[in-house]
Amino acid sequence: MSNFIDSIKKYGYLRSACYLILGIAILFSPRSVFKGIVYIIFFYLLIMGILQIIRGLQAKKYTGNVGFETTSGILRVIVAFVVLWFSKGIISILPMFLGFIILIFAIGQFMQSWTAKRNGFPVTGQVVYSALMILAGIFLLFNPFSSLMILFQIFGFLLITMAVSEFINTRRFNQ
């Protein structure tokens, strides 16, 4: 659990900035972003993987062990190249993939909010937000092909809200 919180503290602002930039781009130019989304996902996974590898190697100096950070970073780099290799297939399943990403984020957000609630923080808004995100993720996951560009713009809006939430959580954990 402490590795999870450390990861939130370390890269939370970077994730927040990535979500915000991508969300704004999707909201205002969904077709262009849709065509280049595979490369965006590739670079995001590659950069985050490299950062995790660097952090893991720095931790190895102190512990002498290859930890979760290094292994997770290597897996992210591998997944980045798999995404690039299978890009045509990925584009065809992109709506379901986006729904899955939102669903996973929303579940993680709910777990963070629940932990914060147990620690005495007022998080009613975060719990409601998580529930709405879970519903949006399920909708995108099980209704992927109707109104794809509208759904993609909704995804852009959700990315912006994810950026705000990530920023708030990072700030909360850093205090």
CA–chain centroid gap for 3, Å, is: 17
Q: Amino acid identity of 128?
A: V
Query: Which residue type occupies 141?
Result: L
Output the average pLDDT for the chain: 81
- How many structural domains comprise the chain? 1
The CA–CA distances, whole Å, from 135 to 58, 80, 91, 105, 128 equal 39, 28, 23, 12, 11
Q: How far apart are CA 43 and CA 61, in angstroms?
A: 27
Encode pLDDT of 17-76 as tens digits. Answer: 888 998 898 888 887 887 787 888 899 899 999 998 998 888 877 777 777 788 888 999
In this structure, are residues 19 and 162 in contact, taking their beta carbons and an 8 Å threshold?
yes
Compute the CA torsion angle 175, 172, 18, 67 (nearest 10 deg).
70
In angstroms, the CA 157 to CA 93 distance is 20
- As to burial, measured by CB atoms within 10 angstroms (0-12 exposed, 13-18 middle, 19+ buried), residue 149 is exposed
3 state DSSP class of 64:
coil
The Cα–Cα gap between 52 and 57 comes to 8
158 pLDDT above the threshold of 80 = yes
How many Å apart are CA 76 and CA 152, to the nearest integer?
Answer: 24
Global pTM value: 0.48
Q: Which domain holds residue 57?
A: 2-174
pLDDT above 70 for 4: no
Q: How many residues does the chain have?
A: 175
pLDDT value at position 145? 63
158: helix, strand or coil: helix
